[in-house]
Amino acid sequence: MAKVHNFSAGPGILPPDVLKQAAEACINFDNMNLSLLEISHRSKNYVKVMDEARALIKELFEVGDEYEVMYLGGGASTQFAMVPYNLLTDSGYAAYVNTGVWASKAIKEAKIVGNTKVIASSEDKNFTYIPKGYEVPKDADYLHVTSNNTIYGTQMKSFPKCDIPLVCDMSSDLFSRKVNAKDFSLIYAGAQKNIGPAGSTMVMVKKDILGKTGRKMLSMLDYQVHIKGESMYNTPPVFPVYVTMLTLRWLKANGGIAWVEQLNQQKADLLYGEIDRNSQFVGTVVKEDRSNMNVCFLLNSPEKGAEFDKLWKEAGIDGIVGHRDVGGYRASIYNAMPLESVQALVDVMKAFEQKFA
């Protein structure tokens, strides 16, 4: 069977070994002669999965017991509401940086919960850059940023220094590079880009920022309830958490964040280098803010789109059609994407230039 080079923006590619192990667990999990899909989440066999999946997050982030990790349902979009619900006080306000569609959605939800201020935005240029040089307020309840913008292909290369809790949506670049996790009070991410399949959202929170809103909390939206329940207050997303655990094991076994950061930089350098060299293509965002996860580019001659599409499809490439808000093409090169797949796309781009320049 011919290899398919999967550049899907999400759910994203998973390591082949992880897929094999996950498939086996659907038939016979942990030598129980039972499927993972049908066992109790309270069984000791599954509890150890949840425990390891939570512990691996802290290990890879290099944080201690001051943080807790949860796996929750509802996608990162639910966190747009849970973050302000758990952190925003009635008398205070939340500060947000708007860098794209998902940041905008987070702002919309926060405004429903309480007073919310946008302190910086790149909307004026269709989110083609990351705002810089803005002043972080000292009196806000927290500052929320989005580290990587999947749709527009921008990425924060550094993070603001804060005297207030820093909250980050890392859904599309979690564990793709080294960050100082201790600079953040809360990190959340949908699993389906870099650490697992769709259906689970990782939340890591510093415990000392919780319980300060003064409001009576709904149980399912209360981080402290989920922490007390060891991420199993209700039935968790059993299979997605298991596959996430396998993916985190894979990441650790191959050399951890240092290893994958180097690989991701190689992939990004290869693809952006071709975009800049090739007379037929142009990038969509300012160079200093280019994402190492989601590479967006356009044809200089859009009328040649059908010809380019034919070439990349014949090469076994899938998932590079750009988002409707940007157009063109988007190659998502998440952690599990091998360098050879990026090379396959680059080879097609070179062949296109030779044929149609």
222 is catalytic: no
193 is catalytic: yes
DSSP single-letter state for residue 319: S
Please tell me the number of Cα atoms within 13 Å of 166 on its side-chain side.
17
Tokens encoding 307: 């010809």
Residue tagged active-site, from 141, 169, 173, 289: 169
Q: Which residues contact 298 (CB under 8 A, 6 or more apart)?
A: 281, 282, 283, 284, 322, 327, 328, 329
Does the bond joining 84 to the residue before it have cis omega, within 30 degrees of 0? no
Amino acid at 105: K
Residues paired with 154 in a beta bridge: 149, 290
Residue tagged active-site, from 44, 117, 183, 193: 193
Residue listed under structure tokens 């409001």: 215
Burial class (CB in 10 A: 0-12, 13-18, 19+), 281: buried
Sheet harboring 329-332: ordered strands across? 281-283, 294-299, 329-332
Residue listed under structure tokens 């944080």: 63
Dihedral over alpha carbons 8, 19, 337, 199 (to 10 degrees) = 40
Residue tagged active-site, from 102, 267, 289, 312: 102
169 is catalytic: yes
Amino acid at 243: V
Residues paired with 151 in a beta bridge: none
Enumerate the active-site residues.
102, 169, 193
